[in-house]
Structure 1
Amino acid sequence: MTDFVDAMSVATSGMKAQANRLRHVSENIANTDTPGYHRKTISFHEMVEAGTTPGAVATGRVQLDQTALPRVYDPTNPLADETGHYDGSNVNLLVEIADAREAQRSYEANLKIFDQVRQMSSALMDLLRK
């Protein structure tokens, strides 16, 4: 039974990590047009602490994308300098949509694993009762 619990723990950690990633992607999408906004990125790492399930993942620290901010020419913007430029956002909407789709599919894959393990453990319990 412990293998079932470990598999469910790994799938759960994957779902939590992908949900966290999706949250940051949605923040990036919401701030696509915010001047001076740096894209947030997040990394995953395997949890190797004592007492954790082997194979479980966690999210690392949130990091800001250090890509140079584009200079936008709009002399009517209150943030514009004397040349009429201001710093835009380095969020690429196409990349963020692709990241969101990947996070969603990874979440769904972990959810299917969780459901399969749950069904298998339920079937095993039914067999043991007979």
Structure 2
Amino acid sequence: MENSENYIIRIDIPEVDEYLALRKICGLSERGKEASKIGLSNSIYSVVIRKSTNQELVGMGRLIGDGGTAYQIVDIAVHPAEQGKGLAKNIMQLLMTHIDNEIDPQAYVNLIADCPADALYKQFGFVETAPESLGMYLKR
């Protein structure tokens, strides 16, 4: 990570308002405030990166799931002004360390990758499921 003294990395859950603000500025889909409060509190493992000067949330990533057989990496986001400094890679390294050390190796771990972020996830062993299967979501 570039200039690591400029950032504080913690295993922690972001506050709802800052979570929603970072999602928005990073171009991620909108989430409801109450639903986000519930979802964040049910995280299995969550990483945040803050600026050391003002504690502003500039990066995050979470692991969610059933706690036994199925998990999903979600909310990987780095503020556009902080991208290209290795922060997303640091988030993924911490998530993967937790997965490697705490989760049954037969559990299913997935994510939905926006391009070109798929290149980051491939560095950690993630592969595309197609053509054997396709990632899908309920569009409402």
Would you call these one fold, judging by a TM-score over 0.5?
A: no
Bigger Rg, which one: 1
Interval of TM-score (by shorter of Structure 1 and Structure 2)? under 0.3
Q: TM-score, normalization: structure 2?
A: 0.21
**Larger strand fraction of residues:** 2
**Larger helix fraction of residues:** 1
